[in-house]
Structure 1
């Protein structure tokens, strides 16, 4: 088990993912050889642009660790239902994804976050004691659509600004905004961690990988990009802590040497010492959609901490 250290936050913020954040000038490619999430790259850029962001995030982390250590805390109203607004930006018919595809993403989120996804039964017995239902649900309240001549959008948050051709977020203090658009650069999605600007708060998912998409989008056609990115929005880090054998600030997720791809065969022995198996089926790894199907109790506690009174997303619990 990992020992949680607040000092690890400052160190972790210095690390980036394997690829750089992109802007509209980055060459677009539809060929995705493995999962790429730009959340950490975007965070690094935000930290460079806003010196106070690190202080806000360290404060959130200190609060999170305090709440996790208090095993008797309760959420504001017991269970959380997250209102969701989906903002669709399209240049082509394919980018203008259907209402049914959008609803399919909400359905996937509801199954994955309540552990009612059928593949949850595949969690190895080794982790039967830590596998968790987060017990947070999602409700689609509005779909906004906007035709545009712009693509790709990159990761500089232009899609979140009406002035830049995108769509401003709707009441981000009490609503999860998700943007569906072509991101480019082989990036499937990215999210903003708690503590960032409300003007850019939310999740971005490439239209090709939004919800239950076509077989042409395999192996990322089962909606798990949404689950992974919403996990970031709820303050979860990548399972490898964005560093070799790094710290994801969760005690019951085994240390991972780096990101894992495809669908690793269990048991997958880590090169991080002491010898142990890696939890490659965790939603916060980089495996294929069919290869990820669990959260842990430690991740649940971390998520819960942002929704209690005083938490970074407490307004969702009122």
Structure 2
């Protein structure tokens, strides 16, 4: 009996000893788990029927990504890590470093340090010249001006954004400057989408230091294709965007796609944005919380509201497929994704170091 009483006394002392003193600082034990269960890289884009209609072939980025994933076994893992870094950045955005207070809080997941202020991206324009599709200095200058207007919320058409989305329009504070122009005569009528225009060995122009410059190749892609881009995580030698000659800058030859927004769209991909409909059905997302779900691209100049997946589409978003003059906003959530890649250990951190 005495042994039992003694044992109970020891247990009581242990319980009391484990209780925190009211004056002690208790570390925050909240575990931070970044949910990656919805992450995807492969899409259904390869199942689409080929077309020479620019409307249907506006952007080939996801088809190019599917090809790159097959050719580069490590790309999916690199993109997974970049997405986890991005989600971690967004999760901790605006949160205190030690949420437990008193200096005792802990952060189980390393917190990316954001880059604050304007980001300046120098641009190298690589032109594979086709006399039938000239790219003039005026085209180049207008394209840089369009990029700066679009990424700094100075597109004049933004005044037409519906009230539903008015509070979501972002100024990304990303500025583009023309660093260099490389020209090379070309007799290739269609360069395709296998990155030949990016390699001297294939008759193209090699990239200029992709860790510090955005490379844009302007050429005749062919097949009615307007452009394509490479997501962060891809091979450095092919990093950048490709734009069809008629769709670069203010260019009458481009028709409804001749006002420079193909480049804005493709640079969005280069900055880690997906198509606004997620390249799937209603449940496949673009990883952005404030863009409505949709099940496909919009074309032309849609009226508002355009309803899909039981919500109004943000058809005026640069990452949709509408006519150039009918796209005029990035969302705050998209801005968070773009800013994340410049944060500590982000895939484009070198641009702000």
TM-score (norm: length of structure 2): 0.82
Asked if structure 1 preserves the Cα contact closer than 8 Å seen for 2:275 and 2:319, the reply is yes
Asked if structure 2 preserves the Cα contact closer than 8 Å seen for 1:35 and 1:188, the reply is yes
Describe the shift of the 1:114–1:35 C-alpha distance in structure 2 as closer, same or farther (beyond 3 A).
Answer: farther
Within 5 A, what are the aligned runs for 1:245-284?
A: 245=282, 246-270=284-308, 272=309, 275-284=310-319
Deviation at 1:269, TM superposition (A): 1.3
User: How far apart are the structure 2 equivalents of 1:191 and 1:20?
Assistant: 20
Q: 2:128 aligns with which of 80, 89, 93?
A: 89
Asked if structure 1 preserves the Cα contact closer than 8 Å seen for 2:43 and 2:62, the reply is no
Structure 2 match to 1:55:
77
User: How far apart are the structure 1 equivalents of 2:224 and 2:177?
Assistant: 29
User: How far apart are the structure 2 equivalents of 1:259 and 1:5?
Assistant: 27
User: How far apart are the structure 2 equivalents of 1:97 and 1:226?
Assistant: 14
Describe the shift of the 1:229–1:18 C-alpha distance in structure 2 as closer, same or farther (beyond 3 A).
Answer: farther
Structure 2 match to 1:288:
323
Structure 1 match to 2:266:
229
Deviation at 1:33, TM superposition (A): 4.1
Describe the shift of the 1:74–1:55 C-alpha distance in structure 2 as closer, same or farther (beyond 3 A).
Answer: closer
Deviation at 1:32, TM superposition (A): 2.7
Describe the shift of the 1:286–1:230 C-alpha distance in structure 2 as closer, same or farther (beyond 3 A).
Answer: same
Structure 1 match to 2:352:
317
User: How far apart are the structure 1 equivalents of 2:280 and 2:287?
Assistant: 12
Asked if structure 2 preserves the Cα contact closer than 8 Å seen for 1:84 and 1:177, the reply is yes
Q: Which runs of 4+ in 1 moved over 4 A?
A: 17-21
User: How far apart are the structure 2 equivalents of 1:150 and 1:175?
Assistant: 26
Structure 2 match to 1:76:
115
Q: 1:42 aligns with which of 64, 84, 91?
A: 64
User: How far apart are the structure 2 equivalents of 1:140 and 1:276?
Assistant: 40
Are 2:103 and 1:64 aligned?
no
Report Cα offsets for 1:129-154 as digits up to 9, x if no partner: 21111110100010000002112000
Within 5 A, what are the aligned runs for 1:238-249?
A: 238-245=275-282, 246-249=284-287
Structure 2 match to 1:24:
none
User: How far apart are the structure 1 equivalents of 2:281 and 2:218?
Assistant: 31
Deviation at 1:19, TM superposition (A): 4.3
Report Cα offsets for 1:169-218 as digits up to 9, x if no partner: 0010010000000001111000000000000000000001001001x421
Structure 1 match to 2:342:
307
User: How far apart are the structure 2 equivalents of 1:5 and 1:291?
Assistant: 34
Question: Radius of gyration: which is bigger?
Answer: 2
Q: 1:184 aligns with which of 206, 218, 222?
A: 222
* Cα RMSD (Å): 1.8
Three-state SS of the structure 1 residue aligned to 2:325 is helix
TM-score (norm: length of structure 1): 0.91
Structure 1 match to 2:37:
7
Structure 1 match to 2:256:
219
User: How far apart are the structure 2 equivalents of 1:75 and 1:81?
Assistant: 15
Structure 2 match to 1:170:
208
Deviation at 1:40, TM superposition (A): 0.3
Structure 2 match to 1:195:
233
Q: Which runs of 5+ in 2 are unaligned?
A: 1-33, 95-111
User: How far apart are the structure 1 equivalents of 2:304 and 2:86?
Assistant: 32
Asked if structure 1 preserves the Cα contact closer than 8 Å seen for 2:113 and 2:344, the reply is no
**Residue correspondences, number:** 302
Describe the shift of the 1:58–1:231 C-alpha distance in structure 2 as closer, same or farther (beyond 3 A).
Answer: same
Structure 1 match to 2:24:
none
